[in-house]
Structure 1
Amino acid sequence: MGYGFSRDDVAFLTSAAGTAALAEVNRLELTPATHLRDIERVRRHHGAMTAALIDTVRLRRKATAKLLGAGEWLFTDDALQQATPSLVARARAQRLAGRAVHDVTCSIGAELAELARVCPSVIGSDLDDVRLSMAAHNLSTRNVLVAKADALVPVSRDTVIIADPARRADGRRTHDPAKLQPPLPDLLAAYAGRDIAVKCAPGLDFDSLDWAGEIEVVSLDGAVREACLWSPGLTESGVTRRATVLSATGESVVLTDGEPDDIPEHEPGEWIVDPDGAIVRAGLVRHYAAKHALWQLDPQIAYLTGDRVPEGLRGFRIIDRLELREKSLRQELARRDCGSLEILVRGVDVDPDALRKRLKLRGTQPYTLVLTRIGRTGTAFLCTAHR
């Protein structure tokens, strides 16, 4: 859960004395091995502020992998976990460049920081006094207005609305739009007719949403991070689904359902390709295949195949096609001196870790086993991996 910060804590941490104390604590290791010694040292000099100081330094160190330029920021543990990674927020901000924007669930300001780079007018609001105080500190060098307001009560005009409803209900992560905080149906009703972008969990059941705009799924460095609902006024004509694939290297791939999706039906090619999770979750597998001269192993399965691997993507060169029977697989892998085995599964009910143990591999060669189905037939492809 982390330390429960108060507004008094924020006031101290942003004071000259607090800044000096944070610099002092930052010189400590703060590792499990030094935990007791570090706490005792900080308590000796700073008494009741010990927990606030240590947690702030720990959270700042953790934030470096997620948020750019946030080395002097303040966080709560929950706020940092929920914060949008800078590269994801930056990609969204680029779509809103030049617009006036109001983030109605701004928290500690991660989204606002990126919006302020490209938008002439940026407002952030929230109901949490502590997070608002932290946001005011975090954004003190940027032209951003931060205020207390209920996300369900519109307080700005002529702005694009951004919202990120909390995705936990009763202490558990939820994919039910009505159980988000604030509830998604209530949020959309409050801003009916307005340009709005709402961040959601990528596991949300998109097909159950009566959404007239665009649904974008975003991944970063191979991990699907979020979905975003874009109202019709913020989308391209004819686009209802988008996949945005981001990388820490700065490269990005954008794919929409406005692009062709005609692909041939052939037997498996030389390679198997597993598209990025954002492409799969956005329902754009056929569009990706058409763009790269690939086709599907099966119309209902997201694995693609072809005679080449798109640049920058990992592929699996097919060595053999086998029956999906453990005895046959064990014999063939033993014959090929298999020692380490990566197992990929899609479309069949197989636990990769449990299967790997039962195969009893004792060889020296690495392989990849792709388990799927073609039609109703379970099929195994023995492959070598290639990046």
Structure 2
Amino acid sequence: MTPEDLDFLLTDAGRDLLALAAGLDWSRGRLVASTAAVRRADPGHAAAAIDVVTARRRAHGRVRGAERMLLTDEAVQQATAWPVAALRAGRLAGRDVHDVTCSVGAELGELLRAAGRVVGSDLDPLRARMAAHNVPGALVCVADALAPPSRGTVVVADPARRAGGRRIHDPGQLSPPLPGLLAAVDDRDYAIKCAPGLDTSVLEHSGEVQVVSLDGSVREACLWSPGLSAGVRRRATVVRSTAVDAASPWGPPRLVSDGLAVHVEEVTDGDDDEVDAHEEADRFIVDPDGAVVRSGLVRHWARRNGLRQLDPRIAHLTGPRVPGGYTGFEVLERCRLDRRELRKVLRRRDCGSLEILVRGVDTDPDVLRRSLSLGGSRPLALVVTRIGRSAVVFVCGPRTAAAGDAHPSR
């Protein structure tokens, strides 16, 4: 999109063109015909209008209020899903906030709903203009994130983690560079969104690292300044969304909006982590949520749910039941990681399909599955794990939810 495109889309004629495009069918079978219809109406601005309308459709369910926003496909891909953004904004309730990488304003809108006065800025003048249109209650300007023009605000930032279609893993290559951003906000409260696999030990950061998952997928790690951490150094936030009227094993929702109920479970390094580790499995093996694993809080979560570890270094847990809202595997027998032995066991148990979980062992699940020559009719699971110095396989029943669960999480 060009500045001239944006100027046009903000006029009555531009809004009419967007309305025309929004009323067309953009499914694969009608894509060519719909594109042609918009081009006939306005060949000069058709591409920009189509980009906005298709981006709005992709943003549905991800960005609240997307249907009225000026968006681009790239901006939607970079936007934080609204339940995660809303929960972050909730921690900043009542504070004045400056989103220094506001892009087109997707997260800025969530901040405006929860926080006090809100400022947004972006180095790209076009995106700053789009943000000002999308979030009219916020003050938006063009500014470098490494030199925020505001004072007394909490700085919120989301450095770009992709360049040329590739994911960036070096914190110094992010945009803006993460070390420089931390230095720029060293004397302020901040919340900085990062990739969940980031090695935070190499950063000058002494506050909290919060790892967040949404509906079973780990989405981000957020760095919170010491002033916003309340003494917590590590936090796992497990977020799940259900239909508002759906039965839920996760208790009352934290947020309700757009037909969704948002449920939250949190574990921190302040929780009790005294659990046993013993190589004999109980009735079930349970795999914790990825946010719990990546935040290093497996023992804390196990203690809360009455589970123990099979090995103190491995995240596979075992217990007499599956915790509410989760799934697990009922243990049938234990084997060595030997393909001949496994083929005999699986043939005897009439196994026809197999889910394989691997931790601590250098084994490719797909290669292992192909080597087992499955020909039966029953679904089963293998949990391949390391206990001490040995690779061990637990042959289990198929993934099962806790008794009474309507919407179990993986």
Same fold (TM over 0.5): yes
TM-score interval w.r.t. the shorter chain? over 0.9
Alignment pair present for 1:66 and 2:80: no
CA-based RMSD of the aligned residues comes to 1.3
CA contact (8 A) 1:217 1:227 kept: yes
CA contact (8 A) 1:28 1:38 kept: yes
**What CA deviation, in whole Å up to 9, does each residue of 1:269-307 have, x standing for no partner?**
111111110111111001101111111111111111111
Q: Once the 2 structures are TM-superposed, how far is the Cα of residue 340 of structure 1 from its aligned partner?
A: 1.2
1:253 corresponds in structure 2 to 265
State the 1:348 CA deviation. Answer: 0.9
Task: State the match for 1:235 in structure 2.
Answer: 229
Question: Structure 2: how far apart are the matches of 1:357 and 1:157?
Answer: 60
Shift of 1:208: 2.5
- Report the equivalent of 1:85: 81
How does the TM-score come out when normalised to structure 1? 0.95
SS at match of 1:286: helix
Task: Please tell me whether the aligned partners of residues 97 and 118 of structure 2 are also in contact (alpha carbons under 8 angstroms).
Answer: yes
Aligned twin of 2:320: 307
1:172 aligns with 2:185: no
Q: Deviations over 1:1-41 (max 9, x none)?
A: xxxx1122122223222222222112222222222222222
Q: Distance in 2 between matches of 1:56 and 1:230?
A: 33
Moved more, 277-286 or 34-43: 34-43
Deviations 1:239-284 (A, max 9, x none): 1000111111311101100111110233211111111101111110
Query: What is the one-letter code of the residue matched to 1:118?
Result: A
Is residue 263–residue 289 contact of structure 1 (8 Å, CA) maintained in 2? yes
Structure 1 runs not aligned, ≥5 long: none
- SS of 1:333's equivalent in the other structure is helix
TM-aligned CA deviation for residue 236 of structure 1: 1.1
Q: Is the 8 A contact 1:175 1:205 kept in 2?
A: no
Q: What displacement does 1:172 show?
A: 2.6
Instruction: Choose from 318, 335, 346 the match for 2:348.
Output: 335
Query: 1:1-387 alignment to 2 at 5 Å?
Result: 5-140=1-136, 143-169=137-163, 171-237=165-231, 239-249=232-242, 250-266=262-278, 267-384=280-397, 385-387=399-401
| Secondary structure of 2:45 counterpart | helix
Q: Secondary structure at the match of 1:262?
A: coil
Whole-angstrom CA distance in 2 between matches of 1:24 and 1:171: 31
d(CA) in 2 for partners of 1:158, 1:43: 48
Kept after mapping to 2: 8 A contact 1:163/1:199:
yes
List per-residue Cα deviations over 1:103-158 (Å, max 9, x = no partner). Answer: 11110111111111121200000011111121111112xx2101111111131111
The 2-side partners of 1:70 and 1:200 are apart by 24
Structure 2 CA distance, aligned partners of 1:84 and 1:306?
Answer: 35
Give, as a single letter, the amino acid of the residue that structure 1 aligns with 2:304: K
What is the CA distance between 1:355 and its match in structure 2?
1.8
SS in 1 for 2:43: helix
Amino acid at match of 1:208: V
Asked if the contact 2:179–2:204 (Cα under 8 Å) also holds between the matched residues in 1, the reply is no
Contact 1:7/1:133, CA 8 A, preserved across alignment: no
Aligned-partner Cα distance in 2 for 1:43–1:170: 29
**What is the Cα deviation at residue 169 of structure 1?**
4.7
| Separation in 2, partners of 1:42, 1:170 | 29
Partner AA of 1:79 in structure 2: A
Shift of 1:170: 6.0
Query: In 1, Cα distance between the equivalents of 2:75 and 2:273?
Result: 40
Once residues 44 and 112 of structure 1 are traced to their aligned partners in structure 2, the CA distance between those partners, rounded to angstroms, is 35
Equivalent residue letter for 1:107? S
Distance 1:167 1:97 in 2: 27
Q: What is the rounded CA distance, in whole Å, between the counterparts of 2:338 and 2:292 in structure 1?
A: 31
Note if contact 1:218-1:227 (Cα within 8 Å) is conserved in structure 2: yes
Query: Distance in 2 between the 1:185 and 1:170 partners?
Result: 22
For 1:80 and 1:161, locate their aligned partners in 2 and report how far apart those are by CA, in whole Å.
Answer: 22
More displaced 10-residue stretch of structure 1: 266-275 or 82-91: 266-275
- Alpha-carbon separation, structure 2, partners of 1:54 and 1:170: 23
Identity of aligned residues (%): 55
Give aligned pairs, total: 380
In the alignment, is the contact (CA less than 8 A) between 1:169 and 1:179 conserved in 2? no
One-letter code of the match for 2:289? D
The alpha carbon displacement at 1:345 in A equals: 1.1
CA distance in structure 1 between the aligned counterparts of 2:293 and 2:200, rounded to whole angstroms = 13
Does the aligned pair in 1 maintain the 2:357–2:365 contact within 8 Å?
yes
Q: Is the 8 A contact 2:182 2:204 kept in 1?
A: no
Q: Find the counterpart in structure 1 of residue 246 from structure 2.
A: none
What is the deviation of 1:209?
A: 2.7
Aligned to 2:259: none
Which ranges of structure 2 fall in alignment gaps of 5 or more residues?
Answer: 243-261, 402-410
Asked if the contact 2:194/2:223 (under 8 Å) is kept, the reply is yes
2:251 is matched with none
Greater mean alpha carbon deviation, residues 30-39 or residues 174-183: 30-39
Letter matched to residue 274 of structure 2? D
Secondary structure of residue in 2 paired with 1:204: coil
How far does the alpha carbon of each residue in 1:149-189 deviate from its partner, in whole angstroms, 9 at most, with x for none? Answer: 11111311111111111113565312211111111111111
Q: What is the CA distance between 1:68 and its match in structure 2? A: 2.0
